[in-house]
């Protein structure tokens, strides 16, 4: 991502990356360091963190997802399509309750076709399987039909 005239220089984020690195074992401090960031700042922090520590910050946060604030920060640091892919996978890996399918319907019905395309690509990249195929392979559920209709409508937009 190229810096725009509105973006602070990378050295600004180096200090933040070091603060984040020191706070990784203290979730409260980590939350204060990351939660107020804009999407552009989060992207710069991820890139600088990788350059400084040769470690992916998202991967590091994913290791601590049993800690509620770390799980929230993990999802917060993902790009929207990556977050949708994670929510879809979580919905499919749970029991076949309505709440789980509602998350899938939300993704399929409320995203534009290009957003859905990127979500499917992120799902494929992360889980090595196609989102549509995983939905089809689930046992029959009334919300499955809604997902199919939403998928068809998304391709028409």
**Number of structural domains the chain divides into:** 2
Q: Are residues 104 and 135 in the same domain?
A: yes
CA 122, 97, 143 angle in degrees (round to 5)? 70
pTM: 0.76
- Is the per-residue pLDDT at 55 higher than 50? yes
Q: Are residues 101 and 63 in the same domain?
A: no
Task: Establish if 4 belongs to a structural domain.
Answer: no
Instruction: Give the span between the Cα atoms of 105 and 77, in whole angstroms.
Output: 23
156's CB contacts (< 8 A; 6+ apart) are 113
**Alpha helices of the chain — where are they, by DSSP H?**
10-23, 27-34, 39-53, 57-62, 68-77, 80-93, 98-110, 113-127, 131-137, 142-156
Q: What is the pLDDT of residue 56?
A: 93
Return the structure tokens found at 119: 């979500």
Q: Are residues 117 and 58 in the same domain?
A: no
- pLDDT, tens only, 78-93: 999 999 999 999 888 8
Give 155's pLDDT tier (boundaries 50, 70, 90): low
Q: Are residues 94 and 61 in the same domain?
A: no
């Amino acid at each position: 991502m190229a810096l725009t005239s509105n973006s602070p220089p990378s050295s600004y984020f180096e200090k933040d990356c070091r603060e984040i690195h020191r706070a990784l074992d203290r979730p409260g401090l980590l939350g204060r360091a990351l939660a107020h960031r804009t999407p552009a700042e989060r992207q710069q922090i991820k890139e600088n963190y990788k350059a400084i520590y040769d470690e992916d910050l998202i991967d590091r946060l994913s290791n601590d997802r049993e800690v509620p604030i770390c799980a929230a920060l993990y999802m917060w640091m993902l790009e929207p399509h990556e977050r949708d892919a994670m929510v879809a996978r979580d919905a499919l890996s749970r029991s076949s309750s309505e709440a789980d399918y509602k998350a899938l319907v939300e993704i399929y019905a409320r995203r534009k076709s290009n957003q859905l395309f990127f979500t499917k690509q992120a799902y494929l990249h992360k889980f090595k399987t196609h989102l549509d195929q995983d939905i089809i392979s689930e046992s029959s559920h009334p919300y499955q039909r809604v997902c199919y209709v939403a998928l068809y409508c998304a391709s028409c937009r």
